[in-house]
Amino acid sequence: MNEVSNSTHDSYSTTLLGFWVYLMTDCILFTTLFATYVVLHNNTYGGPSGRELFDLRFALTETFLLLVSSCTSGLAPLSLDKKALKKTFFWFGITFLFGAAFLVLELSEFTRFVEGGNGWTRSAFLSAFFTLVGTHGLHISIGLLWMIVLLVPVWKNGMTLLSCKRLHCFKLFWHFLDVVWIFIFTVVYLMGAF
């Protein structure tokens, strides 16, 4: 029995270590995108700057939605650990709704920019903006899809050690996206609006 427990613990630790390695590679990706944005943010070539485009109230609403979704994604695994499946689904459902609302706002902002003639090809600034913020939005989209994929087997088969491990990895991913967004909000929106 002790060998099985150690094997399970080793598997869980290995999975978490592997997932942290993945998150670090994603961190390198976002660091590169941030560096590119910082270098190019003044290269508007006669087009609008962030000061003219960004609505801080809009970006603050997005930030609020993502921060709340991060909190609810943290509450879900607490319910998981207590084997309270209804609460787990409730908290992940709230996380999904806030994440989806964030994504809708981000896409509406992109649409507003493009319809105003400020697409990603207008200037180096807008190319860097759309790439950085769009990559984050793509990660949010993948996270929402991943959440559904992880919860379907739990709904059908109940909680298993494997599904618990996967949902804990998802929680780390979602918190990582929240941290990246805080940097985007600060570097792109706050610094760009002033």
Write down all domains in the chain, each with its CATH number in brackets.
60-194 (1.20.120.80)
User: Predicted confidence band at 85 (pLDDT cuts at 50, 70, 90)?
Assistant: confident
Please write the tens of the pLDDT for every residue from 111-136: 999 999 999 999 999 999 999 999 99
pLDDT level of residue 1 (50, 70, 90 thresholds)? very low
Query: ∠ CA(6), CA(7), CA(11), 5° rounding?
Result: 115
Other C-beta atoms closer than 10 Å to the C-beta of 123 total 21
Task: Centre a 10 Å sphere on the Cβ of residue 26 and count the other Cβ atoms it contains.
Answer: 16
Nearest to residue 63, comparing CAs of 148, 188, 173, 192? Answer: 188
Q: Which two tokens stand for residue 76?
A: 């879900």
| Mean pLDDT value of segment 133-158 | 95
From 21-35, 69-83, 173-187, the region with the lowest mean pLDDT: 69-83
Contact of 179 with 81, CB cutoff 8 Å:
no
% of residues, the chain, pLDDT over 90: 74
Residues 6+ apart with CB under 8 A from 48: 118
Residue 149 has pLDDT above 90, yes or no: yes
Q: What is the pLDDT of residue 77?
A: 76
Task: Reply yes or no on whether the pLDDT at 110 is more than 70.
Answer: yes
The predicted pLDDT at position 9 comes to 55
Res. 6: pLDDT tops 80: no
* The predicted structure's pLDDT at residue 8: 53
68 pLDDT more than 70? yes
CA distances (Å), origin 141, targets 135, 144, 157: 10, 5, 25
Residue of 190, 191, 194 whose CA lies nearest to 56: 190
- Which pTM was predicted? 0.90
The predicted pLDDT at position 76 comes to 85
